[in-house]
């Protein structure tokens, strides 16, 4: 991937999100650049210097010049605010090839106007300088992300799937269609990059041995099967909702007057009879 970032004077935009962080890829690129003998300046805004240097070997750490804004963010006011800290990173830098890593552009973008940040990044562009800027794209709206994207010469979007992490590298070309490449990668504990082949879209079918069917009747405290005698008794049983011809005739035959039923109600001493609401169902 470093060959794609080899152009001098480029702004390389590393776009990550809350699902896939891009700081590990930023540190992996810094390691590769440092191992080629270049000096790397880091504007650290979101993590401490100790946390950022953790995992690097001694050769990489020796070539890192760390500008710590994380410990004293208010100290930027004395050097022209956050954008002043961005410009001050390169004071006293070597005249040869140099890389400026900004961790992150989102921190600057939340404290400075997008137009001012774009102007500051454009002013940093010179023949021997490369700028790596980490941008948390889900923190900002489409306007700032699009503005920084149009300013960048290379955009690397970090994502992934079940197959692993993916870096989509987009390089716009004037008067030509932009080129896009996809790299499957992993970052090792020493921040070296390992690239992988694209995983197959169709995973091979794995024929698992059939699982033993559990006995659903085991452990029941009752029997769900009937014996022959129980079946005969069930068949001779008259169901309550089944109206036989005898039951129908008895219901249709008028009852004698002597057997007519009556309901007698004797109120208790505590009962209160309301003539307008005799069944006491009104609640006004």
Question: Across the chain, what does the average pLDDT equal?
Answer: 81
Q: Any residues with CB less than 8 A from the CB of 61 and at least 6 apart, and which? A: 53
Among 188-197, 215-224, 255-264, the least confident range: 255-264
Backbone angle region of 161, left / alpha / beta, with phi > 0 → left and psi within -120 to 50 → alpha: beta
The arithmetic mean of pLDDT across residues 10-29, rounded, is: 94
Residue 219: what are its φ and ψ, rounded to 5°? 85, 5
What's residue 205's pLDDT?
46
Residue 98 in this model has a pLDDT that exceeds 90: no
Q: Are 13 and 152 in contact (CB under 8 A)?
A: yes
pLDDT in tens, 145-166: 999 999 998 999 999 877 689 9
Rounded distance, CA 169 to CA 185, Å? 13
What's residue 225's pLDDT?
78
CATH class, range 2-154: alpha beta
Residue 187: what are its φ and ψ, rounded to 5°? -105, 120
For residue 43, what pLDDT band results from cuts at 50, 70 and 90?
Answer: very high
Residue 52 in this model has a pLDDT that exceeds 80: yes
What's residue 203's pLDDT?
47
Among 130-139, 173-182, 237-246, the least confident range: 237-246
Q: Are 164 and 196 in contact (CB under 8 A)?
A: yes
Q: Where are the domains of the chain?
A: 2-154
Among 32-46, 48-62, 81-95, 98-112, the least confident range: 81-95
pLDDT in tens, 209-249: 555 556 666 777 777 778 888 888 888 877 766 666 776 67
């Amino acid at each position: 991937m470093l060959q794609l970032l080899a152009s001098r004077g480029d702004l390389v935009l590393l776009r990550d999100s809350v699902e896939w962080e891009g700081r590990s890829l930023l540190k992996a690129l810094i390691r590769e650049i440092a191992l080629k003998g270049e000096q790397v300046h880091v504007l650290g805004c979101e993590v401490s210097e100790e946390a950022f240097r953790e995992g690097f070997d001694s050769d990489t750490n020796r070539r890192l010049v760390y500008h710590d804004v994380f410990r004293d963010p208010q100290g930027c006011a004395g050097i022209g605010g956050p954008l002043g800290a961005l410009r001050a990173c390169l004071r006293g830098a070597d005249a040869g090839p140099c890389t400026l890593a900004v961790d992150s552009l989102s921190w600057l973008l939340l404290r400075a106007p997008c137009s001012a940040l774009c102007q500051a990044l454009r002013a940093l562009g010179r023949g021997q300088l490369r700028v790596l800027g980490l941008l948390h794209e889900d923190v900002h709206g489409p306007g700032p992300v699009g503005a920084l994207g149009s300013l960048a010469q290379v955009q690397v979007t970090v994502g992934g799937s079940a197959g692993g992490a993916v870096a989509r590298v987009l390089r716009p070309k004037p008067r030509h269609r932009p080129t896009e490449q996809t790299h499957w990668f992993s970052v090792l504990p020493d921040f070296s990059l390992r690239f992988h082949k694209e995983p197959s879209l169709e995973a091979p079918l794995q024929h698992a041995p059939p699982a033993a069917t559990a006995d659903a009747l085991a452990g029941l405290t009752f029997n769900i099967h009937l014996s022959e005698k129980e079946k005969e008794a069930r068949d001779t049983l008259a169901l309550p909702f089944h109206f036989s011809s005898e039951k129908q005739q008895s219901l249709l035959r008028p009852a004698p007057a002597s057997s007519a039923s009556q309901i007698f109600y004797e109120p208790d001493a505590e009962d209160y009879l309301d003539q307008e609401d005799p069944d006491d169902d009104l609640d006004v």
